[in-house]
Every structure is written in C-alpha cells, then in structure tokens.
Amino acid sequence: MAKTTPTAAKNLLTTYDYINPKPDAELVRKSIVYKLIFILGIDPKDATPADWLNAAMFAARDLSTENFLSTRQIHEKFKKRTVYYLSMEFLMGRAFTNSLINQDLYGAFEQAFKELGLNLADISEQEADPALGNGGLGRLAACFLDSLATLRVPAVGYGIRYQYGMFKQEIVDGKQIEKPDLWLDNGMAWQFARPAKRFPVSFGGTLDTSHYPPRWKPAEQINAVAYDEIVPAFGGQIANPLRLWTAHTGDLFNLASFNEGDYFSSMEAQMKNETIANVLYPNDATAVGRELRLKQEYFLVSASVQDIIARHLCRYDSIHTLPEDVAIHLNDTHPVLAIPELMRILIDDYYLPFDQAWAMCQKIFSYTNHTLMSEALEKWSVDMMAQLLPRHLDIIYKINHHFIENVVRPQGYDDDFIRRVSIIEEGEQRQVRMAWLAVIASHKVNGVAKIHSDLMVSSLFADFAALFPERFTNVTNGVTPRRWIAVANPKLARFLDKHLGGSGWLTDLNQLNQLNKLVDNKDIQNEFANVKHAAKVRLAEYIQREMNITINPNALFDVQIKRIHAYKRQSMNVLHIVHRYNQILNNPNADWQPRVFILAGKAASSYNEAKQTIRLINDIAYFINHDERVRDLIKVVFIPNYSVSLAELIIPAADLSEQISLAGKEASGTSNMKFALNGALTIGTLDGANVEILQHVGAENIFIFGNTVEQVQTLYRNGYNPYDFIDNDPELAQVVNQIAQGAFSPDEPHRYHKLMHNRDEFQRYADFRSYVNAQAQVDKLYRQPEKWYRAALVNMANMGYFSSDRSIEDYCREIWRIEPVSEQELPRLA
Ligand SMILES: *Cc1c(COP(=O)(O)O)cnc(C)c1O
C-alpha cells in the first residue's frame, strides 16, 4: 500500500504533537455547540435532546480519536504483535457514558451541559443501544474489547454492522412481539465510515481443478465496507478499533451477467444479496435463512482476513512473517471459515505450499468453545458449501485428508475413531463439522469456565484430547468493572472509592478484597444497604413509569434476566413463584418476606417453548399482581426488551441473582458475575462459573442447590422420568396441575399443558424441591439484614478474580503470546 503522507505531516504524526491536554467544561461546551452547528447543521435554539447527544458524542469522539490514532502509530512503530478478535456478535451497549468515564471526562461534560441548561444523564438516555448480539457471547466480546484496550493489548475486533440487530421486544397480551430495532435511525456519531477500506467477497461459481492451485471462478462478488468504532481504554491514552463490515447497495455484481451486459439481471442479484449485512440471526433459530447465515459468516471472515493481511503487509514486506505478527481468535465456531479463507489466500494468491500454509494457520488461530449442547454446534451441509464456497470445501477436504493420514492414522487409531474425528460427518446429508475444523487448526482451544473446560475435554472433544492433550485449556470468563460498576452503578463506585482509598480497584479488581476486613462494620453494612436501596428505588420508578406496576423497594428483589431458554429454566423459577403463592394463600397470616420477582429476556423468534415461557410469566404476573389476597407479598414483573442498558439498570437493584440452569448446560454465564459484583447473593446450581464463584465467596455466602453434573448424567442414563418427581411431591404436583389446567390462563385452559407435561429435558422437576428449600434459606437470611449485607459485602470483596482484565491477561499469556504496549512505548504528553 503506497504511503502518500507529505513529509511535514509525517513529522507531525511521529512526534504526537496533536495530543491535546484534557479539556475543561468550557472547552467541552464550546465543542458541543460547535458540533451542533457545523457538523449537524442545527441551530441550538431548535436542537432536540437527540441532537444534543449527537453533538456531544462527536465532541467526545474527537477526544478519543487522538488516542485512537496514536495507538495505531505505536503499534506500527514498535511492530506490536496483534490479536484479531473475530466474532459474529458484539453487544457493546451504549458508548457515550462509557467513553466519558473511561476518559475521565464525565465531570467536564456534566458541567458543560449544566451550563447549557441541560442534564447529562437525560441526554445520555437518548442513545440507541446497538444490539449486535443475542446474549452472553456477544457481551463477552464487548467486555473483552474494553479490557484489551485498558490493558493496552494491541487488538482489533471484527464483526458485522447489522442494519437490524436483535429485534426489539414488545409484550402484547402477555406475548412477545418482535419489532425491528432501528438503532441507526438517529445516526451513529460514534463510528467512522471508512469508504476506502473495502474488500471484495466472492460466492458461488465453479472450481477449475485442472490447474494447481485450482482456480475458483466465483459467480458473485460483494464489497465489504468498513466502519470503525473506537474502543477507548479506561485511563485514556490507548484506544483500539472495532471494525464492523457492511455491504452496500451497488457493491454487488453478478459477474457473469454483468460481463454479458445484462444490467438488469445483475441488479436483481444485487437486490437479493444486499441483505447480507441486514439482520442478526437469533442463534437458537432453526433452518430459517441458513444459507444467508453461512454467507454472513463468510462475509465477516473474508473481509477480516484480507484486512489482516493488508495490515501485516504495511509493517512487514513478506507474508512469511504473518505468524509472528498476527494472532486470530475465533469467538465460537461462527467465524471458523477464517481458517480455509486464510489457507486459500496463502495458497492461491501467495503460492505457498499446502504444508507451509497449514503450519502458519496452526500458529495463528485459537478458538473458544461456548457450548457443549449438540443442537448449538454448527454443521454445514456439504452440498450447500459446494454451491456457495467450492474452493473452501476443497481446502477443507485437503485439511481433513492431511489430518487423518498424517496425524491420526500414524498413531494407530481404528476406522471408528477416524469416522468420529473426521471433519466431514458421513450420512444421508454429509456435513462439515465446524467445531472439529476449529480444534484441528488451532494451537489452543479453551472453554469459558473450569467445569465447562473439563467437560469439553471429557465429552465433546474427548477424541481430540487424546490426540492433542496440550491443546486444551481453560480461561474463565470475566466482566469489565468499568461498565458493570462505574457506568451501571455510580453510587457503588463512590462507595468503593471511599472504602478502598481511591479508584485503583477499577483497573485492579483484586483490591476489592480489602473489603473483607470491613464486612462486620455495621456502618459500612448500612452504607451499602443504602446504595442498594437507591438502585432499587430507581428501578421501581422505571417499572412504575414504563409498565404502570407499583413495587415496594423494601421487598426482596429476586432477579432472573437472560435469554429465555429451556436449559436456563425460567420455568422452574415460575414453579417456585406459584408454589410460594399457594403457600401464602394457605397460610396468609404467617410472617412472609415480601418479594418482587423480576424477569427479562428475549426468546429467539422460532423458539416456541421459550415464547410460551414468556407468556406464562406474563399470565402469572397479571394474575398474581391482581390478587388482593397476596397484597404486596408477591409481585411479578416481566420487563420487556432486555438489553445491555436494561441490565445496567436492573443488576444494581438485585438482592438475589437467579443462576439456575441445569448443571452441565451453562458454559459459564456472565450475568452471575455482574450480579455478585453489585452485591447480590446468588441462588444457583453447580454449573458454569457458579462453581468458581462458590469457591471464591464461600459456601455461607451463596445458595447452592440441585443435582450435580454427575447426578444429572445418572438420571439421564437411567431414563429420566419427570413423574418420578411430580408424583412423589404433592406440592409440586399441585403447581404443575394448576399451570397445566389453566389456573393462570382461564380463557384458554390448555395453553400450558404441553409446557408442563413435556419430557422435561432439563430436569426442572428433579431440582424443584431442592430449589424451594434453598429459597427458604434466602428468606431466612434476608430477615437478618446484618447477616445479609455482610454476605453481600463478602461477595463483592471476593469477586476480583472475575474481572475480564484477568481473563484477558490469561489469554495473552496462555493463548496469544501477546505483549501489551509498555510504559516506555507510550507517547510522552506535551
Ligand atoms: C451479561 C449479559 C448476558 C449474559 O447473561 P447470562 O445470564 O450469563 O446468560 C446477556 N445479555 C445481556 C444484555 C447481558 O448484559
């Protein structure tokens, strides 16, 4: 790539002269007004809150842009080995407040808006929350980007800029209604358009194997165009890019018909294919749009791999140094086509021999597994891949052949083993097993919590663990304390600053353990109780305003917020709610602990059972909330449209965190970490990261219940029968019958019959009694505020391990072998 920077400008750039000192409120105010007038073309007299937000975001972006550009300079100057994080999902949340906090500009912006007669917090609420992800996997990617920047790790995130992200959820008559999420409608001040950064992505056509390397003659080509979002480090100075690809109208040509001069049929193909970056697919959805989903995955990786190589060749003059310069991380199997794509480019464009290209790939790629559930493991039909990506299928065959003949067979494994580890699954419909390809090509494969990584090696990847025992490792997930405490819960942040002697905990979360010596101090317990109460009042106000439901902030807030899925067992939560309702009606004068049950989450559009569960929660909420007899001893609230910003509002207000998945099914969970960090106590199974949270906070400070993985497996093995549990527990039988026979859906009595009387794949009924007993322990502790708040403080004090900074340090050391930018490499401020 030719560099045309004039010499004078070059000198300017290398001395970092353009790094300005931190602005004060006056400068910020002038900058905001300037942006409003000259960038947006709006007279301040006419500006709406949304206009002010956009102007302020431009002003804030200017300030991080300096860091963004100088970070790139540093990486080039010192030839920093870089990790490229490929993910189909990034659930970033709102950018504005986060950027102000990370750059220590919150005070200046707050003051500037005050001088303009406006309120920063209200203005911030105008920002759309880009939902470019479904749930935990996408939010993990976002927490990791925050930690990568803050730890000064040279890193680039790559994703898709879906025009429509996750749908907007409305609840109408108790049912989920899906509306388009128009997150781009008010403009996106935070992202830079990069019209010059474009790469062609090809599909279809034929493979001419009469040459070596074979020649792929694609039928279609579409251009991927970049948008860069700045990811600012906490503490300023560094900012990394999140590069999101989009496909624009006019970028696609049906090559064959265009060459023949058939303009209209080329336009037709364009219309069909411009949808490629349009929608995010709910990851639990079935067959719908599978071909488009495969195209999207290839679109992401092809553009990204081409960009990675271009960036490498800016720093080095040879492709051979790629593995020293580049680490590519695959966030689950969705971007695994990056492997054959890199092979294709190395072999077809750079004429590397297969063995040499393959050796490079194995140094470059690493892969995180996010699920052991077979229905969520990606497989693509060989037929579809042959149609869409013939060259890649050819390369996958070669990789498979090389693997079986050079790795597996020499070790003396039999045909049965070879059939199991083959990338190609034989059968009526031959399929490509993407997870197998990921494991075979990567030098490291990790699970996301200890128990998950152990199960991965003993079950899903057992054959591969026999072949490559050193390849498998664990990196327990974490969450960023910047977003999940400083942004989400400013009062808690002030509390921590005060008692930990400053804000050092924000970048060194283990400092929280100093709280351990304060947990018995009554004043500090009260102070924390007040922080919690304020967050509960704030949430109660939201629920009153948005849903017109009155809840009592003095009640225990019992919260389960996450994607709605049978394995996460929201319906077991419902069983407990109904059981509690029955108990109160049986014994109305007992000394009941008032509770508010708060649930939120989206169901994938095609996932009927999850949608029924949402409806059941809403039916029960309506019924119980209108029953005078339970007064305000139980309230049930399903808050619509779960999102990062809603999580930021709800989590600080939680007393109890529901983490009740069937043991062995939740790989890690990360909301469990956010809750405990905000001083909620967990009620949970021995699943995912709950197991490690238990180890860190101690058994007295967490409510663990339910069968272990071993017990769950024994039940499955013995032919699990839900009626063994229902028939032996009259109270459970009563709850099941009420729901199944229409006590909460009198207008349609059989609405929930199937939901209750299915094969109970996730063993709700087996864990019911143990769950109810644990809930009784919760009530008992909550009645003793000193003990409860002590336990909450102990939780916070021992959650330092679950910072995503620790996760990223583990990845850098164990997987990527990447060094952060050092103090000495940072530019000196003028
Ligand atoms: C943290 C988070 C998740 C993940 O929640 P789990 O309970 O761990 O599944 C999903 N969605 C959002 C918006 C989150 O913030």
**Statement: residue 290 has pLDDT above 90:** no
The CA distance from 615 to 571, in Å, is 11
> Which tens digits make up the pLDDT trace of 757-809?
999 999 999 999 999 999 999 999 999 999 999 999 999 999 999 999 999 99
- Residue 183, token pair as written in the block: 């997150």
User: Locate tokens 């039940």: which residue?
Assistant: 715
Which residues, in sequence order, are CB contacts of 569 under 8 Å at separation 6+? 660, 661, 662, 762, 764, 767
Residue 331 main-chain phi, psi, to 5 deg: -85, 95
Instruction: Tell me the β-bridge partners of 222.
Output: 201
Per DSSP, the residues of 761-824 read TT-HHHHHHHHHHHHHHHHHHHTSHHHHHHHHHHHHHT-GGGBHHHHHHHIIIIII--PPPPGG
**125-162 as b/e: b if 16+ CB within 10 A:** ebbbbbbbbbbbbbbbbbbbbbbbbbbbbbbbbbbbbb
Q: Which protein residue has the closest C-alpha to ligand 1 atom 15? A: 644
Active-site pick, 152, 161, 370, 499: 370
Which sign does the torsion angle of CA 142, 147, 152, 153 carry? Answer: negative
pLDDT at 11 exceeding the cut of 60: no
For residue 1, name the pLDDT band (cuts at 50, 70, 90): very low
pLDDT value, residue 822: 94
Report how far residue 97's alpha carbon sits from residue 183's, in angstroms, rounded to the nearest whole number. Answer: 17
Cα 484 to ligand 1 centroid, rounded to whole Å = 12
Q: Write the pLDDT tens digit of every residue in 543-557.
A: 999 999 999 999 999
pLDDT of 364 over the 60 cut: yes
The percent of residues in the chain predicted with pLDDT above 90, rounded, is 87
Q: Specify the pTM.
A: 0.96
Residues 334, 87 contacting (CB under 8 angstroms) = yes
Atom of ligand 1 nearest to the CA of 642: 13
Within 8 A by CB and 6+ apart from 230, the residues are 61, 64, 65, 68, 99, 190, 192, 239, 240, 241, 242
Question: Residue 116 half-sphere exposure, CB side, CA atoms within 13 Å?
Answer: 29
> What local confidence, expressed as pLDDT, does residue 15 receive?
47
Best substitution site from 181, 643, 671, 682 to test ligand 1's pocket, by max atoms within 8 Å of Cβ? 671
| Cα separation, 344 vs 301, whole angstroms | 12
Can you tell me the distance from the alpha carbon of 477 to that of 667, in angstroms, rounded to the nearest whole number?
10
Residue whose CA lies nearest to ligand 1 atom number 3: 136
Q: Give Cα 289 to chain centroid, integer Å.
A: 22
Helix (H) or strand (E) holding 603: none
Nearest to 330 by CA among 198, 164, 443: 443
Spatial contact of 65 and 35, defined as CB atoms under 8 Å apart: no
45 is catalytic: no
User: How does 425-439 read in b/e, with b if 16+ C-beta sit within 10 Å?
Assistant: beeeeebbbbbbbbb
Q: Which two tokens stand for residue 555?
A: 């009640």
Q: For 50-65, write each residue's pLDDT tens digit.
A: 999 999 999 999 999 9
- Pick from 134, 139, 489, 659 the residue to mutate for probing ligand 1's pocket: most ligand atoms within 8 Å of its CB: 139
Question: pLDDT for 80-123, tens place per residue?
Answer: 999 999 999 999 999 999 999 999 999 999 999 999 999 999 99
Residue among 684, 680, 651 nearest 794 (CA): 680
- 773 exposure class (CB count in 10 Å sphere: 0-12, 13-18, 19+): exposed
- Cα dihedral across residues 577, 579, 585, 591: positive or negative: negative
**Which atom of ligand 1 is closest in space to residue 646's alpha carbon?**
13
- What does residue 254 show for φ and ψ, rounded to 5 degrees? -80, 105
Question: What is the model's pLDDT at position 89?
Answer: 97
d(CA 658, CA 668): 14
pLDDT digits (tens, 9 = 90+) for 806-819: 999 999 999 999 99
Is a pLDDT exceeding 90 seen at residue 478?
yes
Task: Give, rounded to a whole angstrom, the gap between the first and last alpha carbons of the chain.
Answer: 31
How is 224-247 classified by DSSP, letter by letter?
Answer: EEEEEEEEEPTTSS-EEEEEEEEE
Q: What is the mean pLDDT of the chain?
A: 93
Residue 31 confidence (pLDDT) above 70 = yes
CB 168 within 8 A of CB 283: no
Least confident segment among 19-23, 88-92, 678-682: 19-23
| Ligand 1 pocket test, candidate residues 561, 643, 648, most atoms within 8 A of CB | 561
What is the per-residue pLDDT for 275? 81
Complete domains list, the chain, with CATH: 1-77+95-128 (no CATH), 78-94+129-476 (3.40.50.2000), 497-724+769-802 (3.40.50.2000)
How far, in Å, from the CA of 676 to the mean position of ligand 1?
Answer: 14
Please tell me the distance from the alpha carbon of residue 477 to that of residue 492, in angstroms, as a whole number.
Answer: 23
Measured by CA distance, the residue closest to atom 8 of ligand 1 is: 669
Residue 136 Cα, ligand 1 centroid: separation in angstroms?
4
Start-end of H helices in 477-551: 481, 490-500, 522-547
Task: Indicate the residue type of 693.
Answer: I
Give the contacts of 313 (CB within 8 A, at least 6 positions apart).
1, 319
For the residues 401-421, what does the mean pLDDT come to? 97
CB-neighbour burial class of residue 683 (10 A; exposed 0-12, middle 13-18, buried 19+): buried
Cα→Cα distances 710→658, 685, 713, Å: 22, 13, 5
Centre of ligand 1 to C-alpha 792, Å, is 21
Listed in sequence order, the DSSP H helices in 718-763 are: 723-726, 730-740, 753-756
Of 367, 522, 540, 351, nearest to 453 by C-alpha is 367
Q: Which atom of ligand 1 is nearest to the CA of 644?
A: 13
Q: Over the range 293-316, which residues count as b (16 or more CB within 10 Å of their CB) and which as e?
A: bbbbbbbbbbbbbbbbbebbeeee
Q: Pick the catalytic residue: 168, 293, 334, 562?
A: 562
Write the CA distances from 652 to 478, 536, 538, 557, integer angstroms: 17, 8, 10, 11
The 3-state secondary structure of 308-333, one letter per residue: HHHHHHHHCCCHHHHHHHEEEEEECC
- To test the ligand 1 pocket, which listed residue (90, 91, 479) has its Cβ within 8 A of the most ligand atoms? 91
Peptide bond just before 323 cis, omega within 30 deg: no
Q: 295, 674, 696, 751: which is the annotated catalytic residue?
A: 674
pLDDT at 720 over 80: yes
**pLDDT tens-place string over residues 638-668:** 999 999 999 999 999 999 999 999 999 999 9
Q: What is the mean pLDDT of the segment spanning 326-330?
A: 98
Phi, psi at 6, each rounded to 5°: -65, 155
| Rounded Cα–Cα distance for residues 109 and 31 (Å) | 10
Atom index in ligand 1 nearest the CA of residue 91 equals 13
370 belongs to the catalytic site: yes
How far apart, in whole angstroms, are the C-alpha atoms of residue 334 and residue 434? 8
Report the distance separating Cα 232 and Cα 226, nearest Å. Answer: 19
Separation between Cα atoms, residue 54 and residue 309, nearest integer Å: 34
Is the pLDDT at 349 greater than 70? The verdict is: yes
Residue 618 has pLDDT above 70, yes or no: yes
Query: If DSSP codes are grouped into helix, strand and coil, which group holds residue 703?
Result: strand
The pLDDT of residue 251 is 46
pLDDT digits (tens, 9 = 90+) for 131-186: 999 999 999 999 999 999 999 999 999 999 999 889 999 999 999 999 998 888 87
Q: Which two tokens stand for residue 593?
A: 């602990």
Tell me what the mean pLDDT of segment 356-377 comes to.
95
Distance 569 CA to ligand 1 centre (A): 15
Question: In angstroms, what is the span from residue 689 Cα to ligand 1's centroid?
Answer: 13
669 CA from centroid of ligand 1 (Å): 7
Give the residue, out of 371, 562, 662, 807, with the most ligand 1 atoms within 8 A of its beta carbon, to mutate for a pocket test.
562
Taken as a whole, the chain contains a residue count of 830
Query: Is pLDDT above 80 for 274?
Result: no
In this structure, the number of other CB atoms found within 10 A of the CB of residue 280 comes to 23
Element (H, E) at 169: strand 168-172
At 3 the pLDDT is 47
Active site residue 532: no
List ligand 1's pocket residues with C-beta within 6 A: 91, 135-136, 139, 562, 643-644, 647, 669-671, 674
Give the closest residue to 366 by CA, choosing from 471, 240, 242: 471
Distance 590 CA to ligand 1 centre (A): 36
Rounded distance from Cα 62 to ligand 1 centre (Å): 31
Ligand 1 closest atom vs CA 659? 7
The pLDDT of residue 788:
98
Q: Is 670 an annotated catalytic residue?
A: yes
Q: Look up tokens 């060194």; give the residue.
A: 508
**Distance, CA of 64 to CA of 76 (rounded, Å):** 19
Which of 563, 602, 635, 764 is flagged as catalytic? Answer: 563
The share of the chain scoring above pLDDT 70, in percent, equals 93
What pLDDT sits at residue 269? 59
For residues 150 and 805, the answer to whether their CB atoms sit within 8 Å is yes
Taking the C-alpha atoms of residue 266 and residue 249, their distance in angstroms, rounded to an integer, is 12
Identify the H or E element spanning 290: helix 290-315
Pairing of strands 634-638, 595-600: parallel
Structure tokens at 487: 């942004």
Contact 396, 423 (CB under 8 A): yes
Q: Is 562 a catalytic residue?
A: yes
